[in-house]
Every structure is written in C-alpha cells, then in structure tokens.
Amino acid sequence: MKLVLNTNYESLREFITLLPTTFDTGGEVIYNARNQIKVFTLADGRKINVKRYCVPIFINRLVYTFCRQPKAVRAYEYAAHLIELDVPTPMPIAYILEQRGGLLAYSFLITEQSSLHNMLYEFGKGTLSGREEIVKAFARFTAGLHEKGVYHKDYSPGNILFDVIQGVPQFTLVDVNRMEFGKVNMDKGCRNFARLWGKRDFFELIATEYATARHFNVQQCINLILKYRHAFWKTHDRTLYDYE
C-alpha cells in the first residue's frame, strides 16, 4: 500500500492508514456507483470525504501501474494546484494506492468535506425566475477559472457545488482528476459549458455574462455555447433535462 499524506494532516495518519479495512463498514454513503464516496465524521466533529475508486479493468491496471498516474493521484495533485491558484476545491488530505499481484487495485482519495451542498442539476428544469444572479455568478466564476488557465474537462452539474451564503453565490469544484492548465480561448471556454443541463435561456444568460467578464463578443459566445451544447447532447439522452 502506498500512502501520501498532506503534512498538515499528520494527526490523521492512523485513521487514514486504516481506511482500506474500515471503509466498507464505516462512514455514510453519499454516492454509490462504479466508485463509492463516503463521509466520515471524526471525533472532533470534522467531516472527511473518502472516495474509493473501483479496481480498473486489467488493461487499465497495467496503464495506471506503469504508464499513467491513477485518478486518485491526479485528483490529489490537481486539487493542491487549484488551491495554489486560489480556486475553491476541497482541501486534499491524502491518497492511498493498493496493489494486487503487483498491479493497481483499489485507490482512495481523502479530502475535506465541502460545506456547499447544492449542485447545478437543479437548473436542468424549471424557470430562471429568481435564480438569475446565481447563474450570472456562475458564469463569472467560470470566466475566472479560464482567466487563470484552469479547464475542468468534466465540467458537469454534479462536479460544481454551490450555495448562496449571506446573499452571495459561492462555488467549488469537485472530482478534479480530469483537468487541463493553460490558455483558454473563447472557443475552448464556450465549449466547457456543453455538459451542463438547462434550457436555452439558461445558456444564453451564461454566455452573455461570460462574454462580458472576458471581454468577448456576446453574440459569438451565445452561438458557440449553443453549438457545443447541441453537439454534446444530441448524442446523449435529452430526456435528462429540458433541451428547449
């Protein structure tokens, strides 16, 4: 087993070291699919988020053992880099890599649990009325990411958490193992919204605010965002949200 621990969390070493054996019986499940996410409450009341990545298929076990960093490693390192850039994401605490037969088996990512609870799924249906400021703030938040050269390659509703705190929308990024860092031009920036759910007016409002924040042409951004949105969703299940 390989354990890499953030030096600021040395007091949690014993708890984290035992996670491969305590994961199945402890914590509260908040996501359960191919990978599983649990929240553990420590003795002092702090909440810790633990994501266990499933054992990859054989070919990927080879790739992640010898050729490419496993997802847990990338998520840990990217989160640390985001924090250096002052981009909100849960603080990375540690990662664990287990091996079986000399190849990667289960891996774990341990982070602080975000205090934000809402996801952008809720904009998939319903009216924008009363929620316009959240959408505008989200567009500005994304513009800020792109200005810093941050490009989340899985910028989907479940990976963007938000809450309105004292009247101000706050956002944070999760599931950050698929990131790019570098220049984000208008075309690439507009393409980043394609995975989101929502009606046309939701995307038009995003495009207008995003273009304004980055000093782009508003109509060009509207056209690009709608184009990439259509291209993505025409190959997916449109019944998941109000396409028009």
For the stretch 55-81, pLDDT in tens is: 999 898 999 898 999 999 999 999 999
Quick: pLDDT tens for 111-131: 999 999 999 998 988 788 889
Residue 233 has pLDDT above 70, yes or no: yes
- How far is Cα 34 from Cα 53, in angstroms, rounded to an integer? 8
Residue 40 has pLDDT above 90, yes or no: yes
Name, in order, each residue with C-beta under 8 angstroms of 244's C-beta and a sequence gap of 6 or more: 199, 200
Which H or E element spans position 28?
A: strand 28-32
pLDDT band at 244, cuts 50/70/90?
low
- What angle do helix axes 200-214 and 132-147 make, rounded to 10 degrees? 40
Q: Which residues lie closer than 8 Å to 206 by C-beta, 6 or more apart?
A: 135, 138, 139, 142, 193, 196, 225
Q: Is 49 a residue whose pLDDT tops 80?
A: yes
Query: Residue 238: which pLDDT band, with cuts at 50, 70 and 90?
Result: low
**Stated pTM of the model:** 0.93
Average pLDDT estimate for 21-28: 96
Task: Return the pLDDT at 240.
Answer: 60
Tell me the three state secondary structure of residue 197: coil
Domains observed in the chain: 2-112 (3.30.200), 118-240 (1.10.510)
In contact, 84 and 91? CB cutoff 8 Å: no
Looking at every residue in the chain, the average pLDDT score rounds to: 94
- The DSSP code for 157 is G
DSSP element (H, E) containing 224: helix 218-233
Per-residue pLDDT tens digits for 168-206: 999 999 999 999 999 999 999 999 999 999 999 999 999
